[in-house]
Amino acid sequence: MVLAYKCLLVDDEEDVIRAILGKLDWEALGYETPGYAANGLEALEIAEADTPDVVMTDIRMPYMGGLELAHELRNLYPGIRIIIFSGFDEFEYAKEAIRLEAEEYILKPVDSEELRSVFFRIKESLDKEREEKQSIQKLSRYYAESLPLLQENFYYSLLEGRIPSDKIREEMLNYQIDLTGPKYTVVILHTSSRKAPEGLNPVLLELSVRKLAKERLEKELDARIFSRQGDTAMIVQLSEDAASQILELTDICDRFCRMAASVCQAVVTAGIGRVCSDISDISDSAESADEAVSYRAVYGSGRAINISEIVPGKEIGDDPEDSSRELGEILRSIRAGKDIDLAAMSSDFVRCFASGSTSIQNYEFFVYDTMSRLYRFAAENGMNIEAVFGNAGPAHMEFMDAAEFSDYLYDILRRMQEEISENRSGSNRSFVSKARQYVEENYSDENITIEKICRSLGVSSAYFSTVFKKETGKTFVTYLTDVRMDKAAELLTLSDDKTYIIAGKVGYSDPNYFSYVFKRQFGMSPSAYRNSK
């Protein structure tokens, strides 16, 4: 099924919007019935929630005009198509529209045939872009030409840990690869095959995502982009101040996920791994990036997930490698909140080691080594050690046979699962509580933004937006507006302040825009609301 394109009409005159809506058979042209916004600010809110493919906007509107809106949309969503229409036939407007790469500049009143022709041409352009992204021949040729075999093999082997550390620099020199750091991280772009458009080969879909990543991210991030086990992988170099850079990287990747949904019709999850200080540790960063992708089961797919934000920990480089791959898989599943059969996994884990002719000494070492790893995992994840392990000490475990140890291990893992679930919920509630407190203390600041509150909390805006909406059911912008409107209603009821004074007290420098938002919220103007009380 071919998806129709989304369109947004922006004009402060509702009669004009109704006239435009009635001029075309939108479905026949390949578009959904367009949405509507009364000004640029409202259009930006709508675009944040559901990015349109085409925006048709008037120039002169209250609060934010069409040219300013076009500029903001270009920065946020580079692939969006913009049509400017206005009743003002002035050359300066046309020049600015051309500079903003608008598709068309149309004069009011809008002619039906001209409008149909414009939207038809834009649909052809969107279709061509979509076809190019999904064309097997073009994608195959692009892949062969842009990813030289030696470099591709080097990057893949590096992430898999197959290149000896003393050979890495030599091979980088031989293959003309520049990775000077000083710090590094790996980003995995996972394209969902289950959510691929009907009739499109998932392999081709992933290729189109990789092509888009090379176009949009390679130069901006100075990244090395290549294929890895059906996903797209990126090696990103960071400066010594990696802590602040990693938050910015998370937001850039989050914007890319939204762009991939719009351009490629792909559901992409970006997993950002831990920072490492040595290129020889890059495989550990890749492993943590894979772990971040697995958290899409908890935080949702189609977004960026930074492992350092959801599972805080130090940089890679000093921790010993986990030699027990099976136990590591169990613990990673618990930390990611996956629905797994702990009883069966515990039993299989113990049975695989204890079966056969293993000696008593080896079995005792296995028990103590397993418990040591469990203690370390619990400590690293901030668990209550006594609640997880109880009072059982080493002497108690000496008398456990394989079946008893399997049951004991299951009880520990189950309690760990409960602890992590409770800690995650508590952490999210604390996170949202701090954000709400910040709003309560700063709602009168007209310059309050998601970026400002994220700097206060020390997180990326992508992670903040995901957690905040998951916990409150609202976007941050909607929540902030609700708080401001509730405060305004309270002041209108309990004080004699003029409307413009109240507007300033709740964070609105423009009294007219305050009245507009208030009426949208309560269905009446501020003065009418005061009189009704």
Ramachandran sector of residue 300 (left: φ over 0; alpha: ψ -120 to 50; beta: rest): left
The amino acid at 372: S
pLDDT of residue 482: 94
pLDDT of residue 385: 83
Give the SS3 label for residue 20: helix
Complete edge-to-edge strand list for the sheet that includes strand 304-306: 224-228, 231-238, 183-191, 268-272, 304-306
What does the alpha-carbon distance between residue 15 and residue 199 come to, in Å, rounded to a whole number?
A: 41
**In which element (H, E) is residue 188 found?**
strand 183-191
Query: Are 411 and 426 contacting, i.e. CB atoms less than 8 angstroms apart?
Result: no
What does the alpha-carbon distance between residue 56 and residue 73 come to, in Å, rounded to a whole number?
A: 12
Q: What's the Rg (C-alpha) of the chain?
A: 28
pLDDT of residue 511: 92
Chunked in runs of 10, what are the mean pLDDT values of the chain (533 residues)?
Answer: 86 91 92 94 91 92 90 87 80 66 80 91 90 70 67 89 88 85 94 85 91 93 91 93 88 94 93 92 92 83 90 52 63 76 84 61 76 83 80 55 83 85 66 86 90 83 83 89 95 93 94 94 93 85
pLDDT of residue 1: 56
What does the alpha-carbon distance between residue 259 and residue 254 come to, in Å, rounded to a whole number?
A: 9
Polymer length of the chain: 533
Structure tokens at 495: 């004080």
Q: How far is CA 136 from the centre of its chain?
A: 28
The number of CA neighbours under 13 Å toward the Cβ of 137 is 0
Give the pairing type, strands 268-272 and 304-306.
Answer: parallel
Q: Whole-prediction pTM value?
A: 0.50
Crossing angle of helices 14-23 and 112-134, in 10° steps, is 70
pLDDT of residue 323: 37
Is the Cα dihedral 403, 382, 240, 456 positive or negative?
positive
Residue whose C-alpha is closest to residue 11's, from 62, 82, 76: 62
CB atoms within 10 A of CB 390: 13
Residue whose C-alpha is closest to residue 228's, from 171, 165, 326, 158: 158
Give the SS3 label for residue 10: strand
Query: Are 495 and 503 contacting, i.e. CB atoms less than 8 angstroms apart?
Result: no
**In which element (H, E) is residue 9 found?**
strand 7-10
Give the pairing type, strands 35-37 and 183-191.
Answer: unpaired
What does the alpha-carbon distance between residue 176 and residue 331 come to, in Å, rounded to a whole number?
A: 39
Distances in Å between the Cα of 137 and the Cα atoms of 68, 132, 141, 191, 304 are 40, 9, 6, 20, 30
377: which residues sit within 8 A by CB, 6+ positions away? 331, 416
The amino acid at 6: K
515: which residues sit within 8 A by CB, 6+ positions away? 499, 503, 525, 526
Burial of 108 (0-12, 13-18, 19+ CB in 10 A): middle
288: which residues sit within 8 A by CB, 6+ positions away? 186, 273, 274, 307, 316
Query: Are 267 and 250 contacting, i.e. CB atoms less than 8 angstroms apart?
Result: no
301: which residues sit within 8 A by CB, 6+ positions away? 192, 195, 267, 269
203: which residues sit within 8 A by CB, 6+ positions away? 230
pLDDT of residue 506: 94
